[in-house]
Amino acid sequence: MAATELCSPRIYIHDRFIPYRPHLDVDVAHARLMSPPSETKNHSLWGNDHQLIYGDVLNEILDSPGQKRVLPIAPCQSPESQRSSMSSIDSPKICSRKSRRKVVTSPKNILDMPKIRNDFYTNVLDWGHSNKIVVALEQTTYIWDVESKVCKKVNIVTEDEASSNFVSAVCWNNEGRLVVTGDNQSHLKVFDPEMEKIIHGVNVDGKTTISVIRWRNNEIYTGDRKGRVYQYDLRCPVLAGRLVGQGLDICGMALSNNSHDMVTGGNGGVVRLWDLRAQHCFRTIKAHNGCAKALAWCPWRSSIIATGGGAQDGYIKLWQIHTGELNGKMSTKSQVCGLLWSQEYQELASSHGSVTPENNDIVLWRMSRFQFEPLAKLQQHLARPLHMTLSPDGTTIASAGVDEMMCIWECFPENRDQYRKQSSSPLALNQVIR
């Protein structure tokens, strides 16, 4: 007995640029081929004014005004969408098909951040893998549990230090259990927020401000205002710093997830790339005309870094670390305070500071082939959002501004597939042609 074949229903996927053959009338097509071209436009094919405009645009594009087509070309949009597209055909802000993703532009939570310092050379915000946010306000460190909404105050500054010291940098470890802080007197402290106990402490030679801290596995890296990069190994009985490199004032630092590379940035717009295994700088890039604080490694291509310039520059640039080649750039005309990548959506978030309140915002960029395409603006801060961090699951951004507010933004929801299922029509513009 022959096997029975199970035939699935045929799904027609039409191409918007190739005429749909079942609509072809052979007799009419033959008559048009045999008849001489007419100088007058016959608008009987178009049923209304919207389709008339669409036909005129097609004639201009195909450079054959007034000539009728042998193969039918039918509009693939509704009259309403045709009207909107025709009205914006000369506008430079035409949104592409991919930019139809809906972004929630209002914050989910707003928290009060009193006494946060208006200092571009600090990094006092971080989101740990325990889903807790640490933020430093002058001498006090706060731990906010995102799930329980409970805020805990941790004061590790002694009475002798409290008069003149302030916490200038914070960072969680990989497990989100320990926090390391640095202050303006070169004091580095590792403490347990639950026990409120200092585990390690060290004073860096020469009193200066520790601007940025990064922690990976058992190693802590710091950058300070004297341009020094230190490495600390927690496995050593005595926490001692080892000088890795030196340059201009350092206020930005980022570690690569897939290699032993590190990038630092600071005054003069100079960006340095470090090989942590050999402990040397293998490339120096004059990236910007202003201070380069915002630095971020591309999560899906480890050889690409994004850098942002200060108020005198305002550019976001993409660099190839192996060659030092500039892969792309975008002028924002404002100070770039922070950069974050979304691996799931392949988008870039940038925070900007400006003297005008309406320009202190966070911008989401779609990075198709590393080309910048603005997607949405998150506007809530009244002053520049100096600090920005990403949640462990990559769905939410926390930003802290000089306006003494911390905003929680749900920019990258996990159920991404819902944005792909907007229409079941084979002619929907959000469908893949092939």
User: Which stretch of DSSP H or E encloses residue 29?
Assistant: helix 26-34
Residue whose pair of structure tokens reads 């052979």 in the numeric block: 26
**Which two structure tokens, joined as six digits, stand for 301?**
């291509």
Cβ atoms < 10 Å from Cβ of 420: 10
Share of the chain above pLDDT 70, in %: 72
pLDDT band at 410 (very low <50, low <70, confident <90, very high): very high
Cβ(284)–Cβ(248) below 8 Å: no
Is residue 168 a contact partner of residue 212, using CB atoms and an 8 Å limit?
A: no
**∠ Cα 136 138 142 (to 5°):** 30
Buried-state track 354-378, b at ≥16 Cβ within 10 A, e below 16? beeeebbbbbbbbbeeeebeebbeb
Asked if the model's pLDDT at residue 16 lies above 80, the reply is no
Please give the backbone phi and psi of residue 258, each rounded to the nearest 5 degrees, phi first: -110, 5
Grade residue 331 by pLDDT with cuts at 50, 70 and 90.
very high
Q: Name the residue type at position 4.
A: T
pLDDT score, position 280: 87
Alpha helices in 236-395 (DSSP H): none
Q: Give helix then strand counts, H and E, for the chain.
A: 4, 28
Q: Can you give the pLDDT at residue 72?
A: 52
**Of the ranges 157-161, 256-260, 379-383, the best mean pLDDT one:** 379-383
Question: Is residue 66 predicted with pLDDT exceeding 90?
Answer: no
Please give the pLDDT value at position 98.
47
pLDDT of the residue at 370:
84
- 128, burial (CB in 10 Å: exposed 0-12, middle 13-18, buried 19+): buried
pLDDT at 48 over 70: no
Q: Look at residue 125 and give its three-state secondary structure.
A: strand
Higher-confidence position of 127 and 426: 127
Average pLDDT of span 73-92: 41
- The predicted structure's pLDDT at residue 17: 58
Go through the domains of the chain in sequence order and give each one's CATH number. 122-248 (2.130.10.10)
Query: Quick one: pLDDT at residue 271?
Result: 95
Nearest to 77 by CA among 47, 50, 46, 43: 50
Residue 44 has pLDDT above 50, yes or no: no
Task: Give the DSSP letter string of 345-386.
Answer: TTEEEEEEE-SSGGG--EEEEEEETTEEEEEEEE---SS---
Residues in the chain: 434
How is residue 217 written in tokens? 């596995």
**Residues with Cβ within 8 Å of residue 150, at least 6 apart in sequence:** 144
User: pLDDT-based confidence at 160, cuts 50/70/90?
Assistant: low
Which has the closest alpha carbon to 352: 343, 340, 361? 361
Burial of 11 (0-12, 13-18, 19+ CB in 10 A): exposed
Confidence band, pLDDT 50/70/90 cuts, at residue 308: very high
Q: What is the largest CA-CA distance in the chain?
A: 99
**pLDDT of 15 above 80:** no
Residue 201 has pLDDT above 80, yes or no: yes
pLDDT at 259: 79
Nearest to 254 by CA among 214, 308, 298, 307: 214
d(C-alpha 30, C-alpha 28), whole Å: 5
What is the overall mean pLDDT for the chain? 80
Any alpha helices (H) in 88-184, and if so which ranges?
159-162
Q: Read off the pLDDT of residues 166-190 as tens digits, 9 standing for 90 and up.
A: 999 999 999 999 999 999 999 999 9
Q: How confident is the model at residue 150 (pLDDT cuts 50, 70, 90)?
A: very high
How many other CB atoms are there within 10 angstroms of residue 431's CB atom? Answer: 16
- Taking only the tens place, the pLDDT of each residue in 340-379 is 999 999 999 999 998 777 789 999 999 888 889 999 999 9
Confidence band of 244 (pLDDT split at 50, 70, 90): confident
φ, ψ of residue 141 to 5 degrees: the values are -110, 135
Q: Are 100 and 419 in contact (CB under 8 A)?
A: yes
Euclidean distance between CA atoms 365 and 163, whole angstroms: 43
pLDDT digits (tens, 9 = 90+) for 373-398: 999 999 999 999 999 999 999 999 99
Task: Say yes or no to pLDDT of 156 above 80.
Answer: no
- 111 beta partners: 406
pLDDT for 65 equals: 45
pLDDT classification of 428: cutoffs 50, 70, 90:
very low
pLDDT value of residue 258: 77
- Print burial letters for 287-304: b (CB count within 10 Å at least 16), e (below 16): bbebbbbbbbbbbeeebb
Query: Angle 79-87/49-62 helices, nearest 10 degrees?
Result: 50
Distance CA 392, CA 372 (A): 25
- Phi and psi, residue 58, nearest 5°: -65, -40
Sheet with 362-368, edge to edge strand ranges: 335-342, 347-353, 362-368, 371-378
